[in-house]
Amino acid sequence: MEKKIPITIDGREVEAAAGQMILEVARENGIFIPTLCHYPGTTKVGACRVCVVDVEGARSLVASCCMPVSPGMIIRTDTKKVRDAQRLIVELLWASGDHNCLTCEQNGNCDLQNLVYWLELETPRFSIQFPKYKQETTNTMISRDLNKCILCGRCIRACNEIQVNEVLDFSKRGSRAKVGPAFDADYIDSECFFCGECADVCPVGAITFRQSRFKGRPWEIQKVKTTCTYCGVGCQMDLNINNGKIVKVTGNRDYSQPNGGSLCIKGRFGLDFVNHPDRLKKPLIRKEKGGELTEASWDEALELIAKKFSEIKKKDGADSIAGLSSARCTNEENYLFQKFMRAVVGTNNVDHCARL
């Protein structure tokens, strides 16, 4: 994009492209503006108002996440007025929720917590009063504690705009407003697909992954990028590993293609098979008819297969062999597999479960 709109942020002259929001330009230039409700790739709602900045000539503070730049704009992100507003807003959010970080799953990975620290707030001017909603633990995948919800609406946009599952929205008004499925139902009783997108985008500890509860602090967790093994799409994901175990799977917006950070229920919640005791980790061979399957080495196994296939091919011809491959394999693997069947085995009898 051609940069051509000159603006000034905190005294620095920078160039922006037409249609860019102040926030975007600031970030590109390494200037920090806090955000809570903003979520890239979704509608700009301008709801939380912590991203406010002072724009010369504007009649009020301006939400930088949804205010497009215009030529000659002079912006300050650090005036007293801006900080006072941010402090009040964060104090209000803090005091309106049950932000007991001691037990919160998001402790150390929470936008609100970070903002309180960044603004150097000691304690809110308001008494802590939260709505006392019941915690939702009626399913095994996602927990909700809306007493920590800051009503940023990110979950709603993730559900409606990213996943297009259209399960979540606001209900009620004012300070009684609440996010969730229709008729205030629990997820399990709603149309929810359990993609986990909402939990992934929630900036605080209101929607979290149930499996990883008490399974490790953010700083103990090691993220390992991998490709989902469930289907051929090849979604990129982060395995969150603690003590050599996968505790949860998170999306990562930086891994653009093919999933842009989104996952489905299987990739998100189905990877616990990795550590399952029943999982086969070595090939098994039944050495005599009617006998037990016994563990073998890969070499042994492959050698046995090669030998048997060669015998069959010799005896009954190559077309007596067929290959069936799995949708959980990648495209590349499937390609190799049909190549193998055709070129090595010599048959066109090759098929794939995904066409069933």
Partner 1 sequence: MKVFRSHLLICGGTGCHASGSLNVKKALVAELIKRKLSEEIKIVETGCNGFCAMGPIMVVYPEGVIYMLIKAEDIPELVEEHLIKGRILERLLYREPTTEEIIPTMQEIPFFALQELRVLRNRGLIDPEKIEEYIARDGYQGMAKALTEMTAADIVQEVLTSGLRGRGGAGFPTGLKWKFAAASPGDVKYVLCNADEGDPGAFMDRSVLEADPHSVLEGMVIAAKAIGSHNGYIYCRAEYPLAISRMNIAIAQAKDMGLLGRDILGTGFDFDLEIYQGAGAFVCGEETALMTSIEGKRGMPRPRPPFPAIAGLWQRPSVLNNVETLANIGQLILRGGAWYASVGTERSKGTKVFALTGDVNNVGLVEVPMGTTLGTIVFDIGGGIPKGKKFKAAQLGGPSGGMIPMQHLNAPIDYEKVAELGAIMGSGGMIVMNEDSCAVDMARFFMDFCQDESCGKCTPCREGTKRMLQILVNITQGKGKEGDIELLEEMAPIIKDASLCGLGQTAPNPVLSTIRYFRKEYEDHIRNHRCNAAVCTALFKSPCQHTCPIEMDIPSYISLIRANRMEDAYKVLLRTNPFPSVCGRVCDHKCQTKCRRGKMDEPIAIKFLKRFITDNAPRPKTEPVPVTRNEKIAVVGAGPAGLTAARDLALRGYKVTVFEELPEPGGMLRWAIPAYRLPRNILANEIADVTALGVEIKCNIRVGRELSFTKLNKNYDYVYMAPGAHKSQKMGVEGEDIPGVRGGVEFLRDFNAHEDAWVKGEKTLGSKVAVIGGGNSAIDAARVALRLGADVTILYRRERKDMPAADEEIIAAEDEGIKIEYLVAPLKIEAKDGKVSGITCERMKLGEFDRSGRKKPVAIPGSAFTLAMDAIVASIGQVPDLTFVPKDCGVSVNKWDCFDLAKGSKSQTTDARFYAGGDAVTGPDTVIGAIAAGHQAARDMDAAIRLAGGEPAYEEPAEEKIIIPLIIDEEGEEAPQGKMPELHGPDRRASFVEVELGFSMEDAVKEAARCLRCDAEV
Applying CB under 6 A, which of residues 16, 48, 158, 249 lies at the interface with ligand FES?
48
Q: Which residues bind ligand SF4 (CB under 6 A)?
A: 99-101, 104, 106-107, 110, 112-113, 148-155, 158-159, 163, 165, 167-168, 179, 192-198, 201-207
Cβ proximity to ligand SF4, 69 vs 153, nearer residue: 153
By a kind-dependent CB cut-off of 5 to 8 A, residue 9 interacts, out of ligand SF4, partner 1, ligand FES, none, with none
49 binds ligand FES (CB under 6 A): yes
Closest alpha carbon to 126 in 158, 88, 162, 161:
88
Smallest distance, ligand SF4 to C-beta of residue 192, A: 3
Asked if 252 and 236 touch (Cβ cutoff 8 Å), the reply is yes
Cβ proximity to ligand FES, 34 vs 216, nearer residue: 34
x/- letters, 126..155, toward ligand FES (CB under 6 A)? ------------------------------
Give the separation between CA 11 and CA 238, rounded to whole angstroms: 39
Smallest distance, ligand FES to C-beta of residue 4, A: 25
Smallest distance, ligand SF4 to C-beta of residue 161, A: 10
With H, G, I as helix, E, B as strand and everything else as coil, classify residue 269: helix
> How do 236-242 and 5-9 pair as beta strands?
unpaired
Closest alpha carbon to 112 in 131, 83, 90:
90
55 binds ligand FES (CB under 6 A): no
Give the separation between CA 275 and CA 283, rounded to whole angstroms: 17
Binding-site size, partner 1 (CB under 8 A): 36
78 binds partner 1 (CB under 8 A): no
85 binds partner 1 (CB under 8 A): yes
Main-chain dihedrals φ then ψ at residue 244, nearest 5 degrees: 75, 5
Main-chain dihedrals φ then ψ at residue 111, nearest 5 degrees: -65, -35
Q: Indicate the helix (H) or strand (E) that contains 5.
A: strand 5-9
Angular region, 120: left φ>0, alpha ψ -120 to 50, beta rest: left
Q: How far apart are the first and last CA of the chain?
A: 45
Both tokens of 77, joined, read 């992100």
36 binds ligand FES (CB under 6 A): yes
328 binds ligand FES (CB under 6 A): no
116 binds partner 1 (CB under 8 A): no
123 binds partner 1 (CB under 8 A): no
Encode burial over 305-340: b for 16+ CB neighbours within 10 A, e otherwise: eeeeeeeebeeeebeebebebeeebeeeebeebeee
Main-chain dihedrals φ then ψ at residue 62, nearest 5 degrees: -125, 135
* Nearest residue to the partner ligand FES, using Cβ: 65
By a kind-dependent CB cut-off of 5 to 8 A, residue 35 interacts, out of ligand SF4, partner 1, ligand FES, none, with ligand FES
Cβ proximity to ligand FES, 118 vs 273, nearer residue: 118
Provide the binding-site residues for ligand FES, judged by CB under 6 A. 35-38, 46-51, 63, 65
Provide the binding-site residues for partner 1, judged by CB under 8 A. 44-50, 52, 60-61, 63, 66-68, 81, 84-85, 88-89, 92-93, 95-96, 125-126, 150-151, 153, 169-170, 172-177
